[in-house]
Amino acid sequence: MNSSEEIAVSGMSAGRSAMRMGPAELVQAAAMARRFYLEGKSKIQIAEEFGVSRFKVARVLETALERDLVRIEIRVPAELDAERSDALRARYGLRHAVVVESPVEAEETPDPENLGEVAADLLGELVDEGDVLGLAWGRSTIHMAAALDRLPPCTVVQLTGVYDAGTSERGSVEAVRRAAQVSGGDAHPIYAPMLLPDAATATALRHQTGIARAFEYFDKVTVACVSIGSWEPGISTVHDMLSEDERAHYASLGVAAEMAAHLFDAEGRRIGRDLGERCITVKADQLRRIPEVVAIAGGQRKASAIDAVLRSGLVTSLVTDTSAADYLMTAGPAPRPALSRADPDGA
């Protein structure tokens, strides 16, 4: 995901306005521009070479840009939308926002798989040696882990239980193992369902040796990767695990999104906190203390849920697609900057 800059310096195709410069001026300006943009020389070095002041060099370079003698192009890979990424980062006060082009045929598909590939590259940038990487359950995080090809040595811990204990080998447990294998670090998976029938069962499981060991790392996590779900079938893990009556109850509270088994209304306030007592998951206040929390979510059907979670202040960075980004840029009043990490409901 590295951007590259191409500097085109030409005295022959400078444009009509540039031809108002005399030939000596054109030659000198082109030479100075080549030294500065292509050879990396400073204005002081150029001034010494040409026997002029550095202020004269600065004026010549500025004129070269104004008169199209120098053309600067900023290029990023075709699948990345740099303009939307920067606008989204600024709107929500995020540390990083990466917007990926949505295939036309997949605009309404939640979490296109290419989000995971881009998120894998982003984690390669964000994770440093010795960090503790936390992965919450979600299809997007599973896709991300499968796409990982580089990570510095780090510890990897699972932040939530799994959607179905019977599929753990193909889900978040395998994602944790994969990330640890790539990094060469230790893995701390959680072999337990995300949602339990009651709080007592959840409490008992949290005290089991393997699960308790993973929980001990939650306060040490430095980079976390999470997914976001909308409150509808097939797009929210928690929604699909609950009974019809439970779904109706939380819907009546105004649930708009879920992340790591935490529920949020449209303003980013946490609701339905009783559900957390039945869940094997990292606490919201622990997420808030993690320096870097990267959410991976996209698609029109998840757009409003992404907005809700971003307003919670729990997320510092986002990987999404153009379909969701276009909604987010016009979704209600501008939210409070996420990097303040303030809790909107004071919890």
Q: pLDDT tens per residue, the chain (347 residues)?
A: 444 444 555 443 444 443 466 677 788 888 899 899 888 899 999 999 989 999 999 999 998 888 888 877 666 555 788 889 999 999 999 999 999 988 765 555 666 778 888 999 999 999 999 999 999 988 889 889 999 999 999 999 999 998 764 444 457 789 999 999 999 999 999 999 999 999 999 999 999 999 999 999 999 999 999 999 998 887 787 888 888 999 999 999 999 999 999 999 999 999 998 998 999 999 999 999 999 999 999 988 999 999 999 999 999 999 999 999 999 999 877 776 655 566 666 54
The number of C-alpha atoms within 13 Å of 236 and in the hemisphere containing its C-beta is 26
Tell me the C-alpha distance between 339 and 110, whole Å: 26
Token pair in block for residue 306: 């992404």
Closest CA to 226 of 326, 329, 296, 275: 296
- Yes or no: say if 9 and 34 are a contact pair by the CB < 8 Å rule: yes
Q: What is the pTM of this model?
A: 0.76
Bridge-partner residues for 5, per DSSP?
74
Tell me the C-alpha distance between 62 and 70, whole Å: 9
> Which residues contact residue 104 at a Cβ distance below 8 angstroms, ignoring those fewer than 6 apart?
none
The phi-psi region of residue 234 (left if phi > 0; otherwise alpha if psi is between -120 and 50; otherwise beta) is left
- Yes or no: say if 9 and 29 are a contact pair by the CB < 8 Å rule: no
Side chain identity at residue 347, one-letter code: A
